[in-house]
Amino acid sequence: MEAIIKKSEIEGKIIAPPSKSYTHRALICAALAKGKSRIISPLISDDTEATISVLRKLGIEIKMNEDSIEVEGGSLREPKEDLFCGESGTTMRLMTAICSLVNGKCKLTGGPSLSQRPIKPLIEGLKQLGINCSCNGQFPPVLVNGELNDGVVEIPGNISSQFISGLLLVAPLAKQDVTIKLTTELESKSYVLMTIETQKKFGIEVEVSEDLRLFHVKNQDYKPISIKVEGDWSSAAFLLTAGAMAGEVKVEGLNTKSLQADREIMRILEEMSAIIKTENDLIVVKKSELSSIEVDVSGHPDLFPILCVLTTTAKNKSIISGIKRLKIKESDRVKAMKEGLIDMGVKIIERNENISIESSIPKGAMIDPKNDHRIAMAFAILGLVAEGETVIKDTECVSKSFPDFWDVMKKINAKVKMNE
């Protein structure tokens, strides 16, 4: 399926889709709690469905309702088949840790892209807790077989915050206390804080040092609860940017005090002189004359694709740094964005771990998103201000995080035509 996008003057009001990150965490905590939990307003997407599928294969009863998910948790069993995680890095990494609680053998596999994303540091961390586990060099598939013990884990914090989140999720169910020491500074801190916040709602206390490099978790039990999933800043960032570039967008259902890393889009838009109005959980962004910016995305890497787009029409030259880990996402996002922007006539230069983007007049082009949801959505937004037609291939990839994206684009009056 292809999407053909023409220059548009957009306008509309949208409810932000639910948070993917919080949905994953709520599902897992509910699975570890003995009893029935209810997750209200969850995100149903390829990634969260991968987590649901793996949990079901581990014996967790999950009932899907129209606006909620009921999870009967507390008892994990050895799976009868491989645990396929699709292309969800969150599922693979968090569920690898969860499998250390299973009395039996687990094999976790993934799709082509996920099979090239590193997981060895988590494997090494689990081994320090007595788990018999292995992976294929640095990558999946993963084999887990062992009983979680207490102890001290030393693990780097600058490869993936999901490694630390996985360890934190299982630590309360170890035989005794678990201490996690980071050998480097933690990047993407917000995601670890989101894990701890979700655990707290399920009755788990985590002791954390001020610099987020030392975590101590005592033996505790998860408690079943009802929990509502807040709006997703990662997905909303595309809509808010569309407003700043191509018209006016109103987005409802976002927590302006959220721990989500991608809430940073608001500060960035403000720094770029975007016209923004906030009323409770309603955010209005209007087409603006944007200023250039220098921004480090190491703490919020998922914003990189849409920030590349946002800076194309800003005055002068913008610089985006902290891009090292973006080469091991669903695609090599630096390469994918660079290639697409050049095809659309944008002046972009990559130097070391920075890219610079100069003010440009984008033109339509054929874009291959490399099966990466955030690449596809980013170029769709750029297509709203590009001369001529922008064609996005493989549009189905947005179902990884924002299944309704193309319908939402039409709802805000974007000129989008879908072709088989």
Catalytic residue annotation: 302
Alpha helices in 272-353 (DSSP H): 304-310, 333-343
* Residue 137 region by backbone torsions, left for phi larger than 0, else alpha for psi between -120 and 50, else beta: left
Residue 206: φ, ψ to 5°? -120, 125
CB 114 within 8 A of CB 134: no
End-to-end CA distance of the chain: 5
Residues contacting residue 65 through CB under 8 Å, at least 6 positions apart: none
Q: How far is residue 4 CA from its own chain's centroid?
A: 26
**CA proximity to 287, closest of 251, 250, 243:** 243
Beta bridge partners of 171: none
Q: How far is residue 2 CA from its own chain's centroid?
A: 24
CB 270 within 8 A of CB 278: no
Q: Is the dihedral of CA 199, 76, 80, 96 positive or negative?
A: positive
| Vertex 68 angle, CA 65 and 73, to 5° | 95
